[in-house]
Each structure stands twice: as C-alpha cells, then as structure tokens.
Amino acid sequence: MKLNEGTVDRILRVIVGIAVLSLAFIGPKTPWAYLGAIPLLTGLIGFCPLYAILGVNTCGAPKAK
C-alpha cells in the first residue's frame, strides 16, 4: 500500500474526521457522524482508496536524483 496523501491532506483529514466524529457524542448525536471515522482513518494511514481508483496523489512530485 503506497502512500497517496500529502502532509497537508493528512492533517486536514484528521481534523475533519475528529470534528465530524465528535458530532456523534456532543452534537446532534446522529449516527451519520460515525462517517467521520473514514477521513480520520485515511488521514492516519496516509492511503485513500478513492484516490487510488481515481489516480490522485497529493504527496507531490517524486524528487529528481
């Protein structure tokens, strides 16, 4: 599993994931808030399956030798 998320992308995913997931506990307490686990986990792992399918890579260009 090759990383396909850059640092900024990963940080934003973790922040958004925690914010959405927190709605299950301190917000309107809707079960939909558990979908926040998806960006949280992909941000922690650094791999997004949807990015892989679409061919997106936010890691940046490979460094020249």
N-term to C-term CA, the chain: 23
pLDDT in tens, 28-41: 888 999 999 999 99
Cβ atoms of 9 and 51 closer than 8 Å: no
* Structure confidence at residue 33 (pLDDT): 94
pTM of the model as a whole: 0.86
Does residue 2 surpass a pLDDT of 70?
yes
Copy the structure tokens of residue 10.
């990963």
CA dist 9 and 47 (Å) reads 11
Copy the structure tokens of residue 13.
């995913």
DSSP code of 6?
-
